[in-house]
Amino acid sequence: MRFKRSVDTGQPRAPHWLKGLAYGGLVFLHFPILMIVIYAFNTEESAFSFPIKGWTLRWFAEAAARQDVLDAVWLSLKVAACATVLAMILGTMAAAALYRRVFFGKDAITMMLIIPIALPGIITGIALLAAFKMLGLEPNFWTIVIGHATFCVVMVYNNVVARFRRIPHSLVEASMDLGADGFMTFRRVVLPQIATALLAGGILAFALSFDELIVTTFTAGHEKTLPIWLLNQLTRPRDAPVTNVVAMLIMLITTVPILLAYYLTKGTESVAGSSK
């Protein structure tokens, strides 16, 4: 079987059935999400009839008026913000310590940093819960933040360490040579160089924290973050339209920052290493 060649690139063209499968896969993945968005504007209260009978913004007003929704949104925003700040500080410090020096146990430490994203959330959750119990800590706001920070640190670390590797070390030495101590060098030379990577890592961490459910169920106690609130909604079908509105809100709060992070790290070749 011969492939047709594209006029533009000369690369072999994919056959139609393969294209059909690829687009089909994408539609299958995103169709349910589209449905949620559509039904957020549905005039009917609980039935999922298609096509929908009419459009309304009523559920937005209703969602905005409900204290439990507002509380959950506010809690999730607070948790995500705290976890992000913590991750940005710890992730940057870890990256700075690990990107250049070679020492005994370095690989092990790197592994320990990265493992929380590979580890099933349920394991992290159980482990954290057991640890908090042992320390005599009641699950509260800060236990949620710590739980989220475990995987948020990696997002920042990965982004920042990649940038660190591209900064010529002579920049740091030049700054020290010109009289700047470690802190000044970090503030004036290192931070401007890693800023976009740090921000991108932070944004990813925020998005990740904002919709995290599994670890949170173990560490939240009776606090209700937005994803936990959503999960509980499943038992109340009459609330479906409000749930759809909130789900859409989560989508917006997480996708927009991820796109932003993508654009921040896209054209960074021109930032680092342009001293040469």
Partner 1 sequence: MTFAVEFTQVSRIFGQTRAVDNVSVQVREGEFFSMLGPSGSGKTTSLRLIAGFEQPSTGSIRIFGQEAAGVPPYERDVNTVFQDYALFPHMNIRDNVAYGLMVKGIGKTERERKAEEALEMVALPGYGDRKPGQLSGGQRQRVALARALVNQPRVLLLDEPLGALDLKLREQMQVELKTLHRKLGITFIYVTHDQGEALSMSDRVAVFNNGRIEQVDAPKLLYTRPKTTFVADFVGTANVITGALAERITGQTQPFSIRPEHISFATTGELPADRLGVAGEVADVQYHGATSRVEVQVEQKLFAVMVANQDADDHALPVIGSQVQLSWPVSAMVMLQAG
**32 vs 179, beta carbon nearer partner 1:** 179
218 neighbors 180 (Cβ within 8 angstroms) = no
**168 vs 221, beta carbon nearer partner 1:** 168
Rounded Cα distance between 124 and 148, Å, is: 10
Count of residues engaged in binding partner 1, rule: CB under 8 A: 24
| 61-to-41, 70, 97, 178 alpha-carbon distances in Å | 11, 12, 49, 59
Sequence-separated (6 or more) residues with CB below 8 Å from residue 152: 83, 84, 86, 87, 91, 205, 208, 209
Q: Does 166 bind partner 1 (CB under 8 A)?
A: no
Rounded Cα distance between 240 and 67, Å, is: 17
Q: Which of residues 175-194 bind partner 1 (CB under 8 A)?
A: 175-181, 184, 188-189, 192-193
The dihedral formed by the CA atoms of 124, 130, 131 and 133, expressed in degrees to the nearest 10: 140
Q: Report, in Å, the least distance between residue 127 CB and partner 1.
A: 39
Between CA 111 and CA 82, with CA 89 as vertex, the angle to 5 degrees is 105
Q: Cα 246 to chain center, whole Å?
A: 18
Q: Report, in Å, the least distance between residue 90 CB and partner 1.
A: 24
By CB under 8 A, name the one of 6, 46, 170, 255 that touches partner 1. 170
Q: Report, in Å, the least distance between residue 255 CB and partner 1.
A: 30
Q: Does 85 bind partner 1 (CB under 8 A)?
A: no
Q: Report, in Å, the least distance between residue 270 CB and partner 1.
A: 8
Q: Which stretch binds partner 1 (CB under 8 A): 16-24, 70-78, 137-145, 265-273?
A: 265-273
Rounded Cα distance between 236 and 226, Å, is: 16
Q: Report, in Å, the least distance between residue 162 CB and partner 1.
A: 17
Q: Report, in Å, the least distance between residue 92 CB and partner 1.
A: 17
271 neighbors 191 (Cβ within 8 angstroms) = no
Q: Does 272 bind partner 1 (CB under 8 A)?
A: yes
Q: Which token pair is 23? A: 């687009």
Q: Does 106 bind partner 1 (CB under 8 A)?
A: no
DSSP classification of residue 269? G
**217 vs 268, beta carbon nearer partner 1:** 268
Q: Which token pair is 269? A: 């070749």
Rounded Cα distance between 38 and 265, Å, is: 32
By CB under 8 A, name the one of 38, 85, 171, 258 that touches partner 1. 171
Q: Does 271 bind partner 1 (CB under 8 A)?
A: yes
By CB under 8 A, name the one of 9, 49, 67, 274 that touches partner 1. 274
**102 vs 134, beta carbon nearer partner 1:** 102
**18 vs 184, beta carbon nearer partner 1:** 184
Could you list the residues that contact partner 1 (CB under 8 A)? 168, 170-171, 173-181, 184, 188-189, 192-193, 270-276
